[in-house]
Structure 1
């Protein structure tokens, strides 16, 4: 059994709107589950009493879009790098759009950083990613401090989940699932939708309460991996309670049913 602890940073780009939330993305959680399965003890930073919650983008296919930092030492390094590399390679083979440059591994708390293949990453590259992450967070803060001119539509609409408001919407849940209605205010985005160049919609949310379909426990706590089968039963993460953050217009939704129906 491997005893070294692997530490992974949580990151909340929406701190201004949803403070004191310890967030990781769905693909980071799957990575954590694979590391646990390989015998690693994984700790999520900051190591506090805040519950771990999942930041998800429903209908969006770009994985590891947020910068992921892992800290590891000793014998854990080689095994962990193999687990990370294997997961990323599976995503790439399946045709997923994976931002592999956003995965930074720091070994023995040194000044040296590596990518998911164990290759050294330049200090300037890490600095650039950190600066971009901070800027990303600050730009979201500016957007969420903007008051909607439409009382019925309080939630901002972004383009490809980038922090620039192109409209306003209402996100709701009914017996059919998640839905939204709203107004696009950006003329260029309107034109691209009418031309069929933008046709999908994606919703960012925080899964506060989740349940594993296999063990019925909190999905962030167990080691069952989604889409894997256990005794012929597929593992699925059931979101019981969530906060909706924003909606985004996207070029190609991962779910072909997440389409825009624009009324002129």
Structure 2
């Protein structure tokens, strides 16, 4: 039985490079799947025929690094918040770092905003986060207008997925998986790499075509949870086709193999 309606707005921070794409992050999709399994009706906006695609960051351990605002309708605020909070708590049990301040629950698109603990937050919190997200998008747009000085390396390298170019690279995929080759141009970043303070890479991509390993349907449309075992078979999201957006240098990559090899 469906108890309530939850709306989540898609957001494309790379509109200038990849226009007309309906994107949600991987962790948001997992949350949506958990909510659906729990009997909640989830609507992703805009509610149109545009295919839903997954924005992912391979090599970064932080969850909800992007803003997530859930709009809840149809039930008492405390009950609605508890439903969503319990699902988010399940995701957090993985032990990853979480930007908790980026998760806001709004009731009936009013001024009633809560954090995922169910605690009321300031009325302007939602507005502030949305303004910061829009500014983030504008800064990325400026970066992507910059033409690489290296013909071999067309893709910008950022620091911690923030819109500041610190180098240029080529992102490729072979039998070993994703890889990068490039040049770090920022002197401070080079020094931090040599000092061991920056150790790895994280690649942002847009998964255009995906397939669930359990039901073989589109991964965005089914309710199977990645990592969960169904009839002795582990659920995996198979990425059939993807766009590689950017590469970022990070302090601690989630995959110990995503390390930087800096040649002097």
Cα distance in structure 1, aligned partners of 2:11 and 2:161:
16
Q: Distance in 1 between matches of 2:85 and 2:146?
A: 40
Residues 1:68 and 1:201: Cα distance change in structure 2 (over 3 Å): same
- Provide the rounded CA distance (Å) in 1 between the counterparts of 2:226 and 2:92: 17
Provide the TM-score with structure 1 as the length reference.
0.96
1:249 shift after superposition: 0.3
Which moves more between the two structures, 114-123 or 216-225?
A: 114-123
> How many residues align structurally?
264
Partner of 2:208: 208
For the 8 Å contact 1:4–1:75, the answer to whether it is kept is yes
Query: Does the 8 Å contact 1:91/1:98 carry over to 2?
Result: no
Structure 2: which 5+ residue stretches go unaligned?
Answer: none
Q: 1:139-163: CA deviations, max 9, x gaps?
A: 0000001000000100000000000
Structure 1: distance between partners of 2:181 and 2:142: 23
In structure 2, the partner of 1:39 is 39
Change (3 A) 1:250 1:180: same
Q: CA deviation at 1:261?
A: 0.8
Aligned positions of 1:98-117 closer than 5 A: 98-117=98-117
Question: Deviations along 1:109-142, whole A, 9 cap, x unmatched?
Answer: 2221111122212123222212211110010000
SS in 2 for 1:62: coil
Counterpart mapping for 1:19-168 below 5 A:
19-75=19-75, 81-168=81-168
Q: In structure 1, what is the Cα distance between the partners aligned to 2:91 and 2:229?
A: 18
Q: Aligned pair in 2 of structure 1 residues 108, 32: CA closer, same or farther (>3 Å)? A: same
SS at match of 1:97: coil
Q: Indicate conservation of the 8 Å contact 1:207/1:243, yes or no.
A: yes
Q: 1:83 to 1:238 in 2, by over 3 A?
A: farther
Displacement of 1:180:
0.8
CA contact (8 A) 1:227 1:235 kept: yes
- Following superposition, the deviation at residue 76 of structure 1 comes to 8.0
Q: For structure 1, which segment, 76-85 or 63-72, has the greater mean C-alpha deviation from structure 2 after superposition?
A: 76-85
Partner residue, 1:253: 253
Distance in 1, matches of 2:196 and 2:103, equals 33
Are the counterparts in 1 of residues 200 and 250 from structure 2 also a CA contact under 8 Å? yes
Task: Indicate conservation of the 8 Å contact 1:168/1:182, yes or no.
Answer: yes
1:218 — aligned with what? 218
Match of 2:175 in 1: 175
Q: Which residue of 1 aligns with 2:18?
A: 18
Secondary structure class of the residue paired with 2:124? helix
In the alignment, structure 1 segments of 5+ residues that lack a partner are: none
